[in-house]
Amino acid sequence: MQTFTFNRASSADQAIALAADAQVRFIAGGTTLTDLMKLGVEHPARVVDINRLPLAEVLPNPDGSLSIGALVRNSDLANHLNVKQDYPVLSQALLSGASAQLRNMATTGGNLLQRTRCMYFRDNLSPCNKREPGSGCSAIDGNNRTLAIFGTSDRCIATNPSDMNVALTALEAQIHIKGSGGERIVPIGDFFLQPGQTPERETVLQAGDLITQVTLPKPMANARSAYLKLRDRASYEFALVSAAVVLQIEDGRVRQARVVLGGVGTVPWRALEAEQALVGAPASEATWQAAAEAAVRNAKPQSENGFKIELAKRCVAHALATVAQTV
């Protein structure tokens, strides 16, 4: 690990001023950053501790939405009464990720910025365009079993590893950002960037930008949601495929639907084709199967991960059937 300057910020404005350079990183739980610093993947010149900032509350709003501070720990968010009652897909996603010890440290803002688990990204001896732009992508012709089949490019096929991000995308969360240019709110669907020709850019954040909170819209009336995660082992493992689904069913038909896949996309992958197949259709096994087929229609598998197509279909169909049974 290289040497760095450490500062502890007492306000958001101070944190932003300290982080005006691209070689500065904020740290809260540190469950990703410290690992990557030890591996030599991240080597910031300055680390700014933001744990003292007043961003650790979950607050219901008068309009029925829910505000989640960027420093709310994953375990607290997963077990918060409002989240469990109104946004169960988020609670389930958080509880399916990492270990209890990591969930006690990891934060909402940090989880949004979680880096890929691609083995080549974490290995300084391997070419990786995400880590070193222009060096090449070792995964395309290498070990790519766990990597993406959606949103890839000839520069990068790494997956977004977060469970929470999949659920937040299904809930159409809003990301609140404060920076040197002021404050802005970014829909989560616009927050993550597909790799294209610049895989080193993963989000819309600029140097010095600080995530301050996440807002969840008021839940859809009479809707139900769930998160299903398929993985190589049952404990402490990243998803091969996951699905976050939200359904509103009235009079035996699907009125609204959101389907988002994890473990298969370079970003949390919203399956718009699946949603189109669902809306207006009868709540039936045939509909769930049709939506599952639509969800993988544009998949582009690599040499070792073609199995994810069938796994994703089964994951989506099972998640939809599970949610429909609770409506």
Q: What pTM did the predictor assign?
A: 0.97
pLDDT at site 152: 98
User: What CATH number has the domain spanning 223-324?
Assistant: 3.30.390.50
pLDDT at site 327: 58
Domain 5-49: state its class.
alpha beta
| Nearest by Cα to 262 from 214, 295, 288 | 295
Looking at residues 74-101, what average pLDDT do you find? Answer: 97
Distance CA 84, CA 245 (A): 15
Model confidence at 326: pLDDT above 80: no
* Domain definitions of the chain by residue range: 5-49, 223-324
Looking at residues 91-112, what average pLDDT do you find? Answer: 96
Which tokens is 278 given? 């669902």
Average pLDDT, the chain: 97
| Nearest by Cα to 223 from 293, 168, 171 | 171
Report the side by side order of strands in the sheet with 5-8.
5-8, 46-49, 24-27
Distance CA 242, CA 308 (A): 10
For the ranges 57-61, 223-227, 233-237, the lowest mean pLDDT is seen at: 233-237
Note whether 5-49 and 223-324 share their fold: no
Model confidence at 22: pLDDT above 90: no
Model confidence at 17: pLDDT above 80: yes
Of the CA atoms within 13 Å of residue 215, those in its CB half-sphere come to 15
pLDDT at site 234: 86
Model confidence at 258: pLDDT above 80: yes
Looking at residues 177-205, what average pLDDT do you find? Answer: 97
pLDDT at site 1: 73
